[in-house]
Structures are given as structure tokens and as C-alpha cells.
A and B are shown apart, each in its own frame.
Chain A
Amino acid sequence: MARGGRSPDRLWAWFAVSSVVSLVALSISPMKDYFRDYRRYQESYRQRLLATAGSSKELQAAEAETVRVRQTWIPQFGDRVDRCQSCHLGVENVKMGGSEEPYRLHSPTPHTPGDFRRFGCVACHRGQGRATSLTEAHGRVPGWSSPLLPLRYTEASCGACHRGLHVPEASLLSAGRALMDRVGCLACHKIAGWTEWRSQAPDLDGLSEKTHVEWLRAWLEQPRSLRGATWMPDFHLRDEEIDALVAFLWAQPAKRPQSAASDAEPPLGDHDRGRKLFRESRCISCHTVEGRGNGSASELAGIGSKVSRRWLFAFLADPHSFQPGTAMPQYDFDRQQLVDLSTYLMEEMVDPSAPAAGAPFRPSAKRVAEGEEIYQKYGCSGCHHLGGRGDAPPIGPELTGIGGKPAALLDFGVRGDLPHELPDWLAAKISHPRSFREGLRMPEFGFTREQVESLVTALLSYDSTEVPEEYRVTPEAAHYAPPGRFGELARRYRCLSCHQVQGVGGDIATAPLTAEGSKVKESWLASYLLLPTSIRPILTDRMIPLQMSEERAAFLANFMTNVFLDDGIPGEIFSDRPPREQAARGRRLYYERYGCHSCHQREGSGGYYGPPLDDVPLKLRSGWVAWWLQGPQRWRADVRCPDFGLDAGAARDLSAFLVTSAHAPGRAEGRP
């Protein structure tokens, strides 16, 4: 009885407790939702809309706004669901330009505002699209592997779809990828999809003929102590490692140049003639001297303290047999010129702080063998060719997918000071690779802060996001191989080190040669190849005089003006001299309407930015001039001459004026 009397009481108690518990449990979900930040952001945003409404329609729209989760669903891009706009309410509202987060208008990018529905938010900014609370949405929760990308690295996301080295409109990413290419990350680290990397480091055969042991030792100790701008990194080698490496390199025989092979010491030449030749040859179009010059090739100051005169003489005579992969053209110097030039360089380009040559060095076989191990250990062959060795496999870890690696999987080693974030880890790795643990091999490159930032951006771009085919932008691989005799000469003079033809080639020269024949006259081109006059005096990197024969110049000019043609560009548009009144109209357009003289020299006055235009009649085809004026960027996208939107008539008038010789009789109407 007693038991039966207690039982209903207990049951009641249990019932009360469990109903309260289930009530609480049931309320958790609506409560969580109720306290989501987006509710008050949406309420506040609605107030802003009401306050800024400029018409009754806008007012009605603002009043009709309800608090809800706002999402973008992109089925074609991995079924993404981004709810970021539940808080970031003003991203598409131009009235929110000056607002603070999270109401701010998204700043314009090549894909904003046009492509919100195509990309959503997370594809560029990372984070967790489906989440609706602040920390979860920004991905700052354990287990979420792609937290919000700090804004300064957002360009990394451009690189997920844009696979090319140069990504237009993503300057930081492009700078980073270009730097990766230049410094040779690919020498040690593989990145899937990046197959066309080529080292610019010199071959190391026959160093004992090129330089002296003391120089090599100092170089290996700290390359930048001898040449500040070198990309050879500092491997922090120990003394015994340097000794072994020097011994190994010293034992490697020279590759014999075929044409200039001569064991005799060349005679001393004339210093002044050499200096004149050095300047005329415009070596600084590629090299630098004390930092002045283009900088795509090595610094020449100090070279006299590094190389032997015999080597320099032979190298200048036949650079390609020493360095088959070099971008350096073969100048057609005669023997006296080679003697003068090498004399000048050896006497002038001296670095007083460089070590002097000592006694002859004979490495022991044991040391040579040790050196070979060191050579392999640090992956020297990733950048340098030596003897008949093939390319060794990269010694560093593969970097495919590095940009999406979860921070939990990174080895922070002894760097307890670093925040556990991927960008910080990458920045520290690049800046001080050896600071993580003992025994690491990655060398130090001495990057500046900006360089580190661009490199981190580039590395973050190699993440493992699966990008659908239709989103990918892979630049078409350009293929052009100059044919026949033209090809032989183009390789000898390394035309494509500076110029581009059909998208292939370097970018030192501003002028692509693809449509050269539609542009210039054959006679002008032939004389220009013999004696390149400055087209744009402001440029450091100008066309070099290759000392070629008249026959070769004529052949090259004939080939280019007959082969490098663009059918869309008319040749000559005037059968004879252009009508005088047409040229007069062009003159007015030139000086009064378009202010061409702001940038161009003609008749002794004008700016020095664009090419001087007095020689247009001898140089350019009239059809080209008219075509150019109607859209200069069609020739090259980054041409600085603005597109004035000229119609065909105005372009013809201007062409008539420009192809009429400035000094022809009857042309002295005087400029306004």
C-alpha cells in the first residue's frame, strides 16, 4: 500500500521533470537560431535601408524586408551553399559604399558585382558557407580546414581557377608566381600542373677555368656578400661542407667551346675602345652594372674579380657552347673587339672587397667524393647543370595542395611563437626556413616583406579546391619555333629572349614581332638591325647592336617583313604621297585635338615618352599607322598610348600627316 501510495507521486515527479527537460531540449534549436548574430544585423540593416530610402518604392521594399537566412546556391560549382549574405547584407547594394562591416558594399573586382551567383563568397574568401554564426562561418573552429582567408591574401583564390603564371588583375598573385618561377621553388618542390619551369642558373662545368677557389669559397659562404642582387640563396653551409663542395666543383672538367677554344692567354686590348664597345653594345639592356640596368641577367660589377680573362674572352666569343641554355645572344664581335671588351671588363668591373686569387688548388679524391654528397644533399642539380648529369628528382616535399593544408597538419617545429595558421606558417617558412628544426636543408633567400607576401599569396593559390572545368582559365600554351635559316639566326641572336612572336618569347623588348611585317618597311628594318637607333630613349633596355653582317640583316628584314604579317592590318593606304589637305587635317588633330605632342617628339619639340615620330615616313607603313591609332592595345594589351576612339577618317588623316616627311618642301605651314 505504502509502496502503491508513493508510486503515483514519483511518477508525477518524473513526468514533470521529463516534460521540463524535453521542453528545454526542444527550445534549444529555436533559441540558438534566435541568438544568431544575423538577426540583429538584419534588423540594423533594415533600419539603414529605411533611413536611406530615396523613393517610396525603396521604402516599401525596406519595410517588406524580413529576418531570414539568405543564401546563394551554386549547384554547378560543387553544390556550394553560401549563407554569408545573411550578415554581409550590403555587398550588392551600391548605397552601402561607405558602410562598415558587415553592411559594406563589396569593392569592385573583375568578378564583382557581376558574378556573385556564379562564385558565391567562399570560393574566394574561404570559411564555412553553410554556417550562420560568426566563428563557424569564418571557419575559426576546430576541424574546419579552410578558415577565412585574410583579405590581403584573397588574390590567392584567383589562382584556383586562373592557372597561368601571369593572372591579369591579380598583381600580388602574379608577382608571387613570377617570383616562384624566378627563384626556383620548382627546383626542389614539385607542383602538379606546373611543368614548364626552366632554371636560369648557370651550368657549373669547368669552374676551375672560369674563376678561382677563393672566390668560389666566398660565394658559397654567402652569395650576397659578392653580389647583392643574386637569387642564389644562402645555404648556411658549414666550412667543411664548403671545402668539400669546392673540391667537387673544381674537379669537373670544362665543356670545350668549339669556336673559341684557345689555351693561349688573349693579348691585352684597349681599355677605352672596350668601354666604348661595352656602352654601344647596351649590355645593360639585360645586365646591371651596380644595380643600373634591366636586371634580367646578372650583375656585371665585380666580374673582373671573379672570372679569368681567358674565360671571359672565350665566353664572349661563344657564350652558347659554355651555357647552352643562356638567354644571352651571340654578338658577332671580331677578335679585336673581343680583346678590347674583355680587357675593359676585367680592368673596370673590379670588386675591391672580393677575395684575391691564391695558390693553385688540387682537390683530394676523398674531398671530391664528399663534395658530391653535399652537392646531392642540397639538391644543387635542381638549378645547375653539371656534366652529363640528368635532372635529379626534386629533393623537397611536393607543394601540390599546400595552399589548402589544414594548420593542424603543419609542422611548426620549435616555432612556438607562430600563430597556428597556414599563412603565418608559410611566411615563416619562406623567410627563415631553418628556424623550424635542426637539420633542414631549405636555403634562405632573403626576401623582402612584400616578396614574402606575394609568395604566400602564390602558395595559397595551390590549394586542393576542385574547380569545375568551365571555371578554369588555363592560358593556351603558345607554340612557335622559328623555322629554317631565320630560326638559326634567331637562336644565335636569341631574338626570343627579348621579343615575343605569337606569344612565345621574353618580355624585355616592348615590341612583339608577330606583325612586324605589317608594321615596318623592309629597308628601315634592315638598317635598324645593323645600327639600332633608340626608338624610345627613356628605356634602359633597348635593342642591341649585334654587329651582324649586312647580308644577315637584309635576310632577317626580308624574312620578317614577308612572313610576320597580320591580314587584318592594311599595308599602304596611300597610293602616292597623301593629299596635302588630308595631312593638314591630321596636323590639327595631332597638335590640337589629341595632344600627341605631349608624349611624342616631332619637328624638334614634344615629349620624350613615346617614340619620336620624325622617322615615321621611312619606318612605318601608312596602313599600320591608321590601324594602330584606332586601338593601340590591339597590338599589345599594355600599350600606354591611350585609345582615343578615333574613327577611320581621323585615323587616315593622322596617318597622312605622320607619313608625310616633316622636312618635305611645302610642309612648313608651321605648327600652331
Chain B
Amino acid sequence: MRAWTAALGLLWVSATPACHRPSDQARQASTPALMGATSGTSPAFSAMPTPDLGYNAREGRTLFLHYCSTCHGKDGHGDGFNAYNLDPKPRDLGEPAFQAKRTDDELASVVRSGGAAAGLSSGMPPWGRTLNDRQIFNLVSFVRTLRPAADSI
């Protein structure tokens, strides 16, 4: 009987918060599972290809193709059919140097206020009254997925 009580007591003590916490190992192990579940890549879906773009970049892409691709080209290489008419020509938005140089806020600001406001060409019009902040955020999200022209060759 003493053994019984001892065993139960030990169990109780070992489970007492002050004496024991989940190990770091256990924490690390549980984190990826959580991230997997919330980002839609839980094992149940790993067999199917993951979507190319999330909601934001997807809306950004729709907007980009509608409003921007005429000059910037559908892949952002500055080769839209109306680019011939522009001086200076639209840049290759997928260029890594350009991507690294500009912050999201700077990109959003040029989209919102136009090229002239940033000391660039007035050929880039201001979209701040046509698109709302969320749409501009999403456009920038999509622009961040663009790759340089050389990639496609």
C-alpha cells in the first residue's frame, strides 16, 4: 500500500508545474507541425502541387495584368506592347538589383503617387485614386514574386 501511495505521489509530483516543464525539444518538435497546419501545407495536401501565389499576390497579379502589363509586360520585364512608346522605357521589375534596392514602401509610393512625384518619368501615372491601399499592397506583393527576364530564357 505504501508503494501505491508513493507511486501516485511521485506521479503527482512529477506532473507538478513547478518541477517540470515541456522540454525545449518538445517545443521545437511541435512548432513545424503548427506552421504546417496553418499555412495549408499539412501532410494531407503535400501530394498536390502547392499554389503558386497566396491570396495577396494573387490579387496583385490580377491587378498587375489588368492595369500594369500593358507597359510593364505580363512578367514585369518592361516589355509590354505600349512600352515602345515610352521614354524612358519601363524597367525590368524582376531585376534582383532593383528588387534589393527598393523597399516595399518605396514601390507602393511610386504606384500610389506616380513616377513624377518620385522624380521619375510621368509616363508612370499615379494610381492612388484608382486603387486602394490594400490593392497597392497586393500589387507590391506580386511585384516581389517577379524574376528577371534572363530567368525565362
Instruction: Give the B-binding residues of A (Cβ under 8 A).
Output: 13, 16-17, 20-21, 23-24, 27, 31, 34-35, 37, 40, 100-102, 107-110, 134, 138, 140, 148, 150-155, 169, 171-172, 419, 421, 423-424, 427, 449, 453, 538, 592-595, 598-599, 606-609, 633, 638, 640, 642-645
Contact = CB atoms under 8 A, between A and B. Distances in A.
Nearest to B121: A595
Given A34-B17, A608-B81, A598 B129 contact: no
Contact of B134 (A20, A109, A449): A109
Nearest to B50: A152
Given A34-B17, A608-B85, 5 more contacts: A20-B5, A20-B9, A23-B12, A606-B85, A607-B85
B138 A20 contact: no
Contacts, number: 132
B48 A427 contact: yes
Contacts of B48: 424, 427
Contact of A20 (B8, B82, B133): B8
B25 interface: no
A16 B5 contact: yes
A101 B30 CA distance: 12
B152 interface: no
B15 A31 contact: yes
Contacts of B85: 598, 606-608
Contacts of A20: 5, 8-9, 12
Interface string B29-51: 01001110111101111011111
A645 B113 CA distance: 11
B55 A154 contact: yes
Nearest to B8: A20
B103 interface: no
B38 A102 contact: yes
A599 B38 CA distance: 44
Given A35-B22, A101-B38, A609-B70, A538 B81 contact: yes
A644 B114 CA distance: 10
Contact of B56 (A24, A107, A424): A107
Given A154-B55, A421-B44, A609-B82, A642 B126 contact: yes
Contact of B129 (A37, A424, A642): A642
Contact of A151 (B34, B39, B129): B39
Contacts of A16: 1, 5
Contacts of B81: 538, 608
B54 interface: yes
Given A171-B62, A633-B130, A453 B51 contact: yes
Contacts of B86: 598, 607
6 contacts: A35-B22, A592-B122, A595-B122, A598-B86, A608-B82, A645-B126
Nearest to A420: B44
B82 A599 contact: yes
B130 A24 contact: no
Nearest to A23: B12
A100 to B, nearest CB: 7
A40 B127 contact: no
B37 A134 contact: yes
Nearest to A607: B85
Given A595-B122, A609-B82, A640 B66 contact: yes
Given A102-B34, A607-B85, A152 B51 contact: yes
Given A107-B54, A607-B82, A27 B59 contact: no
Contact of B27 (A40, A423, A608): A40
B103 to A, nearest CB: 12
Given A13-B1, A424-B48, A640-B70, A101 B39 contact: yes
Contacts of B4: 17
Contacts of B58: 171-172
A17 B44 CA distance: 46
A421 B42 CA distance: 11
B34 A108 contact: no
Contacts of B38: 101-102, 138, 148, 151
A45 to B, nearest CB: 14
A204 to B, nearest CB: 37
B138 A644 contact: no
Nearest to A30: B17
Nearest to B44: A419
A598 B134 contact: no
A188 B112 CA distance: 47
The 7 closest A-B pairs by CB, nearest first: A151-B40, A150-B40, A643-B129, A607-B85, A152-B51, A595-B122, A419-B44
Contact of B34 (A134, A154, A421, A595): A134
A424 B44 contact: yes
A150 B8 contact: no
Contact of A598 (B50, B66, B125): B125
Chain A CB within 10 Å, residue with most, of B27, B56, B66, B130? B130
Nearest to A171: B62
Nearest to A639: B130
B15 A642 contact: no
Given A101-B34, A642-B129, A110 B55 contact: no
Contact of B22 (A40, A449, A642): A40
B98 interface: no
B138 to A, nearest CB: 7
A642 B70 contact: no
Given A107-B54, A606-B85, A633-B130, A595 B125 contact: yes
A297 B4 CA distance: 83
Given A108-B134, A150-B40, A595-B122, A27 B129 contact: no
Contact of B55 (A155, A419, A638): A155
A182 to B, nearest CB: 18
A140 B125 contact: no
Given A169-B59, A609-B82, A640-B70, A598 B123 contact: yes
A17 B2 CA distance: 10
A644 B55 CA distance: 28
Nearest to A154: B55
B11 interface: yes
A642 B125 contact: yes
Nearest to A637: B130
A24 B70 contact: no
Nearest to B83: A607
Given A35-B22, A37-B34, A594-B122, A642 B127 contact: yes
Contacts of A595: 116, 121-123, 125
Contacts of A150: 40, 42, 45
Contacts of B59: 169, 171
